[in-house]
């Protein structure tokens, strides 16, 4: 298990935001109707053609570091994009993201409008328009830092991937094993790693 110490994050702001986003999603679960989207095409800094993303189950544990323990284990997961329906998303703020990247933790409402776009093959298509309300009143950075300073920790299951030790990241065993698929990583070369978030 890797350990992420927020107090020592320093200049690694991108990783800190990735960790905060995962914790925020966990804390907001069931409180807000937050949605994530995979960008299929950026129109401009505030408009995108997107696919909705949904979560597949894993486990996250959250506990208070206190005499009594407390906390519990909850569902969490990895995201997959539903590529059956494309949407035109209008955001409140600029987002400099590339195709394939994710727009996270957005409170969205349908506008009731449709928008027209041109597909890669030149065909005219329409899709439903969604807009960001900007009313995200869920778990905020200040609450995150205060909870950490009080001793709360979060364990994010399968948060990152590390190189497989058995095959050295190739996914195959060596000559002596006739280049068979590595049983540890199942041929992927990487093994999911949990992340313990603490102050």
Average pLDDT of 56-64?
49
Half-sphere exposure (CA, 13 Å, Cβ side) for 129?
A: 13
Backbone angles phi and psi of 85, in degrees to 5: -135, 130
Lowest-pLDDT range, 29-38, 82-91, 119-128, 148-157? 29-38
Model confidence at 153, pLDDT cuts 50, 70, 90, reads very high
What b/e readout covers 124-146, taking b as 16+ CB neighbours within 10 angstroms? eeebebbbbeeebebbeeeebee
pLDDT of 148 strictly over 60: yes
Cα 119 to Cα 49, 86, 116, 122, 124: the distances in Å are 11, 11, 10, 5, 6
Model confidence at 106, pLDDT cuts 50, 70, 90, reads confident
């Amino acid at each position: 298990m890797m350990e992420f110490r927020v107090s020592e994050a320093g200049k690694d702001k991108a990783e800190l935001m990735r960790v905060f986003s995962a914790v925020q999603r966990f804390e907001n679960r069931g409180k807000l109707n937050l949605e994530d989207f995979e960008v299929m095409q950026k129109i401009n800094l505030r408009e995108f053609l997107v696919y909705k993303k949904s979560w597949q189950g894993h486990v996250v544990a959250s506990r208070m570091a206190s005499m009594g323990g407390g906390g519990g284990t909850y569902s969490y997961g990895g995201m997959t994009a539903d590529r059956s329906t494309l949407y035109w998303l209008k955001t409140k703020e600029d987002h400099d993201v590339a195709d394939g990247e994710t727009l996270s933790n957005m409170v969205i409402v349908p506008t009731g409008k449709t928008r027209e776009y041109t597909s890669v093959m030149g065909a005219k298509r329409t899709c439903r328009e969604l807009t960001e309300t900007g009313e995200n009143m869920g778990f905020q950075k200040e609450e995150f830092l205060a909870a950490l300073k009080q001793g709360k920790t979060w364990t994010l299951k399968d948060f990152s991937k590390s190189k497989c030790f058995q095959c050295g990241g190739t996914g195959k065993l060596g000559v002596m094993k006739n280049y068979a698929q590595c049983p540890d990583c199942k041929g992927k070369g990487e093994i999911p790693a949990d992340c313990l978030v603490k102050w």
